[in-house]
Amino acid sequence: MGPELAPFAWAILFAPLAAAGVAGLLVRRRRGLAAAVAVSGMAVGLLCTLYLLARSLGAGEGEPTGFVHNVDWIRAGAFTARFGVVADRLSLLMALVVTGVGTPIFVYSIGYMHGDEGYGRFFACLSLFAFSMLGIVLSTNLLQTFVFWELVGLSSYLLIGFWFGKDSAVEAGKKAFMVNRVGDFGFLTGIILLCWSAASLPSFAGRNPLDFADLAAFYRAGGYEELAKASPHLLGLPVPALAALLVFCGAVGKSAQFPLHVWLPDAMEGPTPVSALMHAATMVAAGVYMICRVFFLFEPFPEALHAVAWIGGLTAFMAATIALVQTDIKKVLAYSTLSQLGYMVMAVGLAGATAGMFHLTTHAFFKALLFLCSGSVIHACHSQEITEMGGLRKAMPSTFWTWIIGTAALVAVPGTAGFFSKDEILAAAAHGEHASLPLLVVGLVTAGLTAFYMLRCTALTFFGEYRGHGHPHESPAVMTLPLWFLAVPALLVGWLGFPLLFHGHPWFQGEFGITGVKVHEGPHEFHLPLALVGTAFAAAGGILGWMVFGARRIDAAAWKERLLPLHTLLSRKYFLDEFYLWLVRTVQQGIAECSDFFEQNVLIRGVVDGLSAAVKASGRALRELQTGSIHTYVRFALAGSVLVVAWVILSAARGGNG
Amino acid sequence: MDIAGPFAPVLLETLSACGAGAVLLVDLFTPEARKSRVGAASLAVTAILFLAAWFGMEAGGETATLFGGSLVLDGMAVFLKRTFATAGLLAVLAAIRYEDRLPRGRGEFHFLLLSALTGMFLVSSVGDLMSMFVSLELVTLSFFILAAFRRERPESVEAGLKLLVLGSLAAAFVLFGTAFLYGATGDLTFAGLRDHLASLRGAPPSRDLLLGLLFVLLGLGFKIGMVPMQVWVPDVYQGAPAPVTAFLAVGSKAAGFALVLRLVTTVAGPGTKDSLQLLFTALAFATLFYGNLAAIPQTNVKRLLGYSSIGHCGYLLMGLAALGPASYYDESAAASGAAAILFYLLAYALTTFGAFLVVILFSAATGSDEMDDYAGLSRRSPLLAASLTVALLSLAGVPPLAGFFGKFMLMRSVALTGPAGFGLLVAGAVNVVIGLYYYLCLVKRMYVHPPKDASPLPVTGPTAALLYALTAALLILGIFPGAFVTLASDAARAAFGVGG
């Protein structure tokens, strides 16, 4: 496949933008039409993605499996910024996740947002998000990625704060935006550092320092060594390794890794379809995707990969422990998402792009499914507290069974999607090139914790007696159909990665991405003992969870008393929010007040007010010239002309004599 | 595309002159009740001109000359004609929204707009000093009448009178300078002037030639609103009918700059670089600060835009200051200055019409041009407020709008001239800040202040579409300037004789 297919790739990108424009500007008030436009924009994206993916997978021997299509965006001297689309297996897989999960969620929103005042606005924002997200996915260079990265941040802000009448939603939107800013600062610094150091190398001439393909080709030719030698070590790291870690900062923000994870649980203030699409399946995975796209930056530096893996592992474990004590159904899922994102990042750090992308794909389907189920439950109970639910198994059979499928996949029951992708990560930790026993233990323990909190949540929501108000009933078909639509891939998509089934299949040969990401670096096999150990951990956690909350053989309240300090630590989320608040309120506020004093008294009163008074005075003086009398005007023009002529002639004469 | 055979170089001029006549005829045979047909005819003419300019002319074609070198069609002429054709189309679109307020003479109004446009097309491709004078006067004479068109309003008559008196002064300057140039070189064509300067082999030109050049430049300075010839601008902008003001702001400025560029590309050479750079740096300085500072205390929107147009003349002069100095001279820096001017003129045309269209619609609905009456416009008509805000931000040079990229190109060309341009760069940056201040003052009125009269101002479908299109054009020109920059650069490089 070649660039002649570029129109399809551009269509993936621009169909949602067109939908956002039409839905937001033209037909916002016509509710049904706005929704239809948004859904069709997404569906066009899905169809184009499927077509391109089929062409890529069907590419014959020796034929390229992807292409890049660029147009010049800004040209200024030697600097060229391009804008383009890349359609290789990596980007198309991610685009499939975005559009494939996005389309059912768009449909689901028709039912979920029914009767909301901002119906049209919601679909416009959702389409804007799809455009921004697909912009990251299809981007061919760092600058374009950054632009869409920020656009995604904007649409996330708009959607978290969608119900802007609610203070907590507004606060959560601001928090997400600010926390992401911290990561983005690192990201941008990394881009600048990388481009600046690469562009200053003579051997880099003729390449574009922003372009993924150019950079990857340069790195593969050993350019990173030259780069490391050419510039001094900063902070004890060679410059390219530092740049890689700074770029990773962006992923830490967007994919909510420790220590910037605090925004994601709060982001659940947004409508549930938003949580499912952005804060579970796609946007938060953008960070993982981005590291996979620029994996060549990390590859030569084991220390950088190590740092990535540990950040991921730490996040996975910490978030899973917090999820144990949450009582809000969406918060449980939010912390579970954090934990699974940690798994993905750990996978990239341990084993490279494919393992991370595999887990990203399976997770997107089953987590989106779980979120939509929770939305259905919330829709029925008008509450998010699992302590006010219970027994919904009978009232909401469709929701219940799809939830069970999603839970099975998340807990990694053998045969479901999550099992295969999680197994691949554990295998990388145990047998991979950068194998690490501590991280293997972290992975296994987290698997056990995952099973525990999911069984707890399931038992409290769907079993026992109903503890809430009113009579919950099943959601309409427009909401339950997308659930079943997502349940299928949540069960089955993992088999694609099952080594015994597809190992050596042409789909998994050759280049995964134009930046030289290989499929399955190193030998990958199915390790039966490891799979058994992993399943045992999950089973242990699951059984324990069921004993406490389902069968009630163990007294939860008594254990809570006994472990009270631990419970407090977990339910206060390791006091990180308090720490950040202290940082902002005490440290930053102190600095800010000092700056404010200086600004108010020296800068504003002295410099700014003085300058503006001078400027305004001169403006008034000039205005006096404009008397309205034509005599004055002619006199002014003549006098000015005489001055100009005299000056030029005299200076020319002086120049001639000298 | 060759659709006019040997007359291709004057295709647009011929079309618009015939179109002007046709509009008069339509007016003659149209009963009073159906006078809107006149506007439609005029719109059809300018639409054809617009299409012919953008799609019927080749930008990179051979340079063609006509009438013994008095008309030249080269890349720069094509670019300018496209700018003028765009401005003409927008002027007629604006005039149609205004003409209900004309007591009489719709046909003449449109005829004069088209005759000014014909003059502008001619101005873009003049090849000698005589045709320059004649085509320039065609533009100016049309504007005298247009400015005074609303005879029942004293301001309008005053505007026409001021334009006439000061315009005559400027015409005298141009003729006087032409006489000196002829005396010094014995030739009236630009090609002859260039040959004469080349024969000097880098020696400074004679005093007569320098005097002649200066007088012509000062005369042209009247058209572009350059200090010290800028005094007429605020009064005429405020007094003339708003569509005329917009066309005057864009057309007169672009016509003046077209001629200044012609003249400067002709005379720029090793012997003149230093003086030219010094001269234009000083003039840019004075014009920038005059326009922007005096805009601050203004209370009338049209007057504010008048002063800001003087400021924009200052920015455009920066592109000419990129010519030198000789020691640092680089043909491509000079060409980048000229390319920046061409691009800026196009961006300025779209932006100015975007702003004036709102001014026209607002004064049609409320009868006021006072800035205080714009208070709360965002609540009365979100579309009008948003369009005006985008246009003002583009004028101020805020990314990602067209005006930003134009200013960026101008500043970059000055930066290319090395340390000599540093002072001017700082002045340009300071003026951007001043400009932002007074533009934002108006934006603040529209968005923050409560409206005095909260009645909504409805905008009809076609007008809304026009506002959307102009806003989109500003965004497109700012986000994807590539194609237009290439066009402008090719034109400028050809004019300076730089290869490639």
DSSP-assigned letters across all residues of A181-236 = HHHHHHHHHHHHHHHHHHHT-GGGTTS-TTBHHHHHHHHHTTHHHHHHHHS--BTT
Rounded distance between C-alpha atoms, residue A320 and residue B203, angstroms: 83
- Rounded (5°) CA angle B469-B471-B474: 110
Question: Are B232 and B127 spatial neighbours (Cβ–Cβ below 8 Å)?
Answer: no
Rounded distance between C-alpha atoms, residue B254 and residue B309, angstroms: 12
Residues from chain A contacting residue B222 (CB–CB below 8 Å)? 637
Please report the pLDDT score of residue B468 as a whole number: 93
* Residues ≥6 apart with Cβ < 8 Å to A36: none
Q: What is the pLDDT along chain B (500 residues), one digit of tens a residue?
A: 455 566 677 889 999 999 999 999 999 898 888 888 899 999 999 999 999 999 888 766 667 777 777 888 888 899 999 999 999 999 999 999 888 888 778 889 999 999 999 999 999 989 899 999 999 999 999 999 999 998 888 989 999 999 999 999 999 999 999 999 999 888 889 888 888 888 887 777 888 888 999 999 999 999 999 988 888 999 999 999 999 999 999 999 999 999 998 888 888 777 777 778 888 999 999 999 999 988 888 889 999 999 999 999 999 999 888 876 655 555 666 788 888 999 999 999 999 999 999 999 999 888 889 999 999 899 999 999 999 999 999 999 998 899 999 999 999 888 888 777 888 999 999 999 999 999 999 999 999 999 888 888 888 888 999 999 999 999 999 988 888 888 888 888 777 765 43
Closest CA to B289 of B424, B153, B458: B424
CA-nearest residue to B203 within chain A is: A656
Closest CA to A49 of A90, A102, A93: A93
* Residues ≥6 apart with Cβ < 8 Å to B254: B80, B83, B84, B87, B120, B345, B348, B349
* Residues ≥6 apart with Cβ < 8 Å to B497: B331
Which residues is A163 bridged to in the sheet? none
Rounded distance between C-alpha atoms, residue B159 and residue B170, angstroms: 16
ipTM value for the complex: 0.85
Closest CA to A406 of A445, A356, A457: A457
Rounded distance between C-alpha atoms, residue A212 and residue A190, angstroms: 14
CA-based nearest distance B360→chain A, Å:
24
* Residues ≥6 apart with Cβ < 8 Å to B419: none
Rounded distance between C-alpha atoms, residue B145 and residue B108, angstroms: 10
Inspect the interface and report whether the beta carbons of B210 and A652 lie closer than 8 Å: yes
Rounded distance between C-alpha atoms, residue A295 and residue A353, angstroms: 7
Exposed/middle/buried for residue B227 (C-beta within 10 Å: 0-12, 13-18, 19+)? buried
Please report the pLDDT score of residue B1 as a whole number: 44
Q: How far is CA A641 from the centre of its chain?
A: 63
Read off the tokens for B240.
């003339």
Q: How many angstroms separate the most distant Cα atoms in chain A?
A: 109
Inspect the interface and report whether the beta carbons of A622 and B293 lie closer than 8 Å: yes
Question: Are B125 and B495 spatial neighbours (Cβ–Cβ below 8 Å)?
Answer: no
- Residue A204 CB-half CA count within 13 A: 24
Beta carbons within 10 angstroms of residue B430's beta carbon = 15
Read off the tokens for A481.
């159909």
Q: How many angstroms separate the most distant Cα atoms in chain B?
A: 69
**Cα separations in angstroms, A177 against A251, A621, B42, B163:** 14, 46, 52, 55
> pLDDT averaged over consecutive 10-residue blocks of chain A (658 residues)?
85 90 80 87 92 83 80 75 86 89 88 82 90 92 91 89 86 88 91 85 80 84 79 78 89 87 84 84 87 86 88 91 87 90 89 80 89 88 82 85 91 85 84 82 90 88 81 83 87 72 54 58 63 86 83 78 80 80 84 87 79 80 77 88 88 63
- Rounded (5°) CA angle B308-B314-B318: 145
The pTM score is 0.70
Inspect the interface and report whether the beta carbons of A639 and B228 lie closer than 8 Å: yes
Amino acid type, B450: P
Rounded distance between C-alpha atoms, residue B428 and residue B136, angstroms: 29
Please report the pLDDT score of residue A130 as a whole number: 92
H or E segment and range at residue B483: helix B482-495
- The ranges assigned to domains in chain A are 306-332+370-571, 575-619, 627-658
Report the phi/psi class of residue A84: left, alpha or beta, with left for phi > 0 and alpha for psi in -120 to 50. beta
Residue with tokens 């608040």: A581
Residue with tokens 């449109």: B110
Cis bond leading into A499, ω under 30°? Answer: no
Please report the pLDDT score of residue B315 as a whole number: 95
Which residues is A511 bridged to in the sheet? A518
Residue with tokens 């299109």: B469
Amino acid type, B41: A
Exposed/middle/buried for residue B33 (C-beta within 10 Å: 0-12, 13-18, 19+)? exposed
Rounded distance between C-alpha atoms, residue A126 and residue A45, angstroms: 14
Please report the pLDDT score of residue B60 as a whole number: 64
Residues from chain B contacting residue A637 (CB–CB below 8 Å)? 166, 169, 222, 228-229, 231
**Best residue in B158, B164, B229, B468 to probe A by mutation, most A CBs within 10 Å?**
B229
The shortest CB-CB distance from B297 to any of A620, A652, A656 is to: A620
Question: Are B204 and A655 spatial neighbours (Cβ–Cβ below 8 Å)?
Answer: yes
A interface with B, Cβ–Cβ < 8 A, is: 71-77, 615-616, 618-620, 622-623, 625-626, 628, 630, 632-634, 636-641, 643-645, 647-649, 651-653, 655-656
- Phi and psi at residue A118, in whole multiples of 5°? -95, 35
Which residues is A71 bridged to in the sheet? A83
Residue with tokens 């080749």: B58
**Cα separations in angstroms, A584 against A504, A594, A595, B354:** 53, 14, 15, 44
Mapped onto helix, strand or coil, the DSSP state of residue A131 is helix
Beta carbons within 10 angstroms of residue B167's beta carbon = 24
Closest CA to B238 of B298, B165, B170: B298
The shortest CB-CB distance from A636 to any of B173, B210, B228 is to: B228
Inspect the interface and report whether the beta carbons of B166 and A640 lie closer than 8 Å: no
